[in-house]
Structure 1
Amino acid sequence: MSLDLPTPDYSRNMKLIGHSDIGGRGDGMQLMVHRGFAYVGHPWSRGFSIVDVRDPRRPGDVTYIPAPDNTWNIHLQAHDDLLLVINALDLFADVDVAQDEKVYYTKSIGDTFAGAGGKQAWTAGMTVYDISTPDRPKKIGQLDSGGIGFHRLWYVGGRWAYASALLPGFTDYIFVTIDLADPKRPFIAGKWWLTGMNKAAGEVLHAPEGRRWALHHALVHGDTAYACWRDGGLTLLDISDRSAPKLIVHRNWCPPYGGGTHSALPLVARNLLVVADEAVLDNEEDGRKLTWLFDIREPSNPVSISTLPVPDEIDYAKKGGHFGPHNLHENRPGSFVSDTLIFASWQNAGIRAFDISDAYRPRETGALVPAAPTVMTDRRPGRPRVIQSADVFVDAAGLIYATDYNAGLEIIEYGG
Structure 2
Amino acid sequence: MADQTLPVPEYSRNMRLLSHSDQGGKPDGVQVMVHRGYAYIGHMVSQGVSIVDVRDVKHPRPAGFIAAPPGTWNVHLQAHDDLLLVINARDLFADARFADEKVYYTRSVTDTLSHGPSDRGWSAGLRIFDIGIPDRPREIGFLSVDGIGIHRIWYVGGRWAYVSALLDGYSDYIFLTIDLADPAKPRVAGKYWLPGMHTAGGEQPDWPLGKRYALHHAIVSGDTAYGSWRDGGLTLLDVSDRAQPTLISHRNWSPPFGGGTHTALPLPDRDLLIVLDEAVLDNQEDGEKLIWVFDIREPANPVSIATFPQPVDTDYAQKGAHFGPHNLHENRPGSFISSTLIFATYQNAGVRAYDISDKYHPRETGALVPAAPVSLMDKRPGRPRVIQSCDVFVDARGIIYSTDYNAGLSIIEYLG
TM-score (structure 2 length as normaliser): 0.98
Determine the structure 1 residue equivalent to 2:392. 392
Deviates more, 1:212-221 or 1:62-71: 62-71
Q: How does 1:14-413 map to 2 (within 5 A)?
A: 14-98=15-99, 100-114=100-114, 118-413=118-413
Q: Take 1:398 and 1:270, find their aligned partners in 2: how far apart are those partners?
A: 21
Q: Deviations over 1:93-116 (max 9, x none)?
A: 011212x10110001011112377
Preserved contact between residue 191 and residue 245 of structure 1 (Cα < 8 Å): yes
User: Are 1:70 and 1:120, in contact at CA under 8 Å, matched by a contact in 2?
Assistant: no
Aligned 8 A contact 1:179 1:188 in 2: yes
Match for 2:288: what amino acid? R
Asked if the contact 1:174–1:192 (Cα under 8 Å) also holds between the matched residues in 2, the reply is: yes
The alpha-carbon distance between structure 1 residues 149 and 6, as it changes in their structure 2 partners (threshold 3 A), is same
Contact 1:237–1:246, Cα closer than 8 Å, also in 2: yes
Assess, with a 3 A threshold, how the Cα gap between structure 1 residues 115 and 208 changes in structure 2: closer, same or farther: closer
Structure 1 pair 395–122 and aligned structure 2 pair: CA distance change class (3 A): same
Q: For residues 390-412 of structure 1, give each alpha carbon's deviation from its aligned partner in whole angstroms, at most 9, with x where no partner exists.
A: 00000000000000000000000
- Alignment length, in residue pairs? 414
Deviation at 1:62, TM superposition (A): 3.1
Q: Which amino acid aligns with 1:259?
A: G
Letter in 1 for 2:369: V
* CA deviation vs aligned residue, 1:239-267 (integer Å, no higher than 9, x gap): 00000000000000000000000001000
Q: CA deviation at 1:46?
A: 1.0
Which secondary structure state, in structure 1, belongs to the residue aligned with residue 104 of structure 2? helix
List alignment gaps of at least 5 residues for structure 1. Answer: none
What is the CA–CA distance in structure 1 between the aligned matches of 2:180 and 2:332, rounded to whole Å?
18
Question: Residue 97 of structure 2 contacts residue 112 of structure 2 at CA under 8 Å; is this kept in 1?
Answer: no
- Mapped to 1, the partners of 2:367 and 2:34 lie a distance apart of 21
Report the secondary structure of 2:98's partner residue.
Answer: helix
What's the RMSD between the two structures over aligned residues? 1.1
Q: Tell me the secondary structure at the aligned position of residue 247 of structure 1.
A: strand
Rounded to whole Å, the distance in 1 between the matches of 2:410 and 2:294 is 30
| Deviation, structure 1 residue 119 | 2.7
Structure 1 vs Structure 2: percent identity of aligned residues? 68
Cα deviation for residue 3 of structure 1 reads 6.7
Cα distance between partner residues in 1 of 2:379 and 2:236: 37
1:122-169 CA distances to partner (integer Å, 9 max, x unpaired)?
100100000001011100000001100000000000000000000110
1:281 and 1:132 map into 2 onto residues whose CA distance is: 40
Could you give the per-residue CA deviations for residues 338-383 of structure 1, whole angstroms, max 9, x where no partner exists? 0000000000000000000000000000000000000211111111
CA distance in 2, matches of 1:377, 1:285: 23
Residue identity opposite 1:6 in structure 2: P
Deviations, residues 281-303 of structure 1 (Å, cap 9, x unaligned): 00000000000000000000000
Superposed displacement of residue 117, structure 1: 7.8
Specify the code of the residue in structure 1 equivalent to 2:5.
Answer: D
C-alpha separation in 1, matches of 2:378 and 2:216: 21
Counterpart residue identity of residue 108, structure 2: S
Greater mean deviation of Cα atoms: 2-11 or 116-125:
116-125
Measured in 2, the distance between the counterparts of 1:228 and 1:149 equals 18
Q: Write out per-residue CA displacement over residues 217-257 of structure 1, whole angstroms, 9 at most, x where no aligned residue.
A: 00000000000000000000000000000000000000000
Alpha-carbon separation, structure 2, partners of 1:336 and 1:209: 40
Structure 2: distance between partners of 1:291 and 1:344: 9
SS at match of 1:406: coil
Runs (4+) of structure 1 exceeding 3 A deviation are: 115-118
Q: Which segments of 5 or more consecutive residues in structure 2 lack a partner in the other structure? A: none
1:11-38 deviation line (CA, Å, top 9, x unaligned): 0000000110001100000000000000
CA deviation map 1:311-337 (0-9, x unaligned): 011110110000000000000000000
| Counterpart secondary structure, 2:320 | coil
Question: How much has 1:207 moved relative to structure 2?
Answer: 1.3
How many Å separate the matches in 2 of 1:130 and 1:151?
A: 21
Residue pair 2:82, 2:132 contacting (<8 A) in 1 also: yes
Instruction: Provide the secondary structure at the position in 2 that maps to 1:324.
Output: strand
CA distance in 1, matches of 2:373, 2:63: 19
Go from structure 1 to structure 2 and tell me whether the alpha carbon gap of 1:414 and 1:65 turns closer, same or farther (over 3 Å shift): same
What is the distance in 2 between the residues matched to 1:61 and 1:172?
Answer: 35
Tell me, yes or no, if the aligned pair for 1:167 and 1:173 is still in contact at 8 Å: yes
Structure 1 CA distance, aligned partners of 2:168 and 2:380? 28
SS at match of 2:325: coil
Provide the secondary structure at the position in 2 that maps to 1:22: coil
- Give the Cα–Cα distance (whole angstroms) in 2 for the partners of residues 151 and 190 of structure 1: 17
Q: Tell me, in whole angstroms, the C-alpha distance in 1 between the residues paired with 2:327 and 2:379.
A: 22
Q: Which one-letter code corresponds to 1:235 in the other structure?
A: T
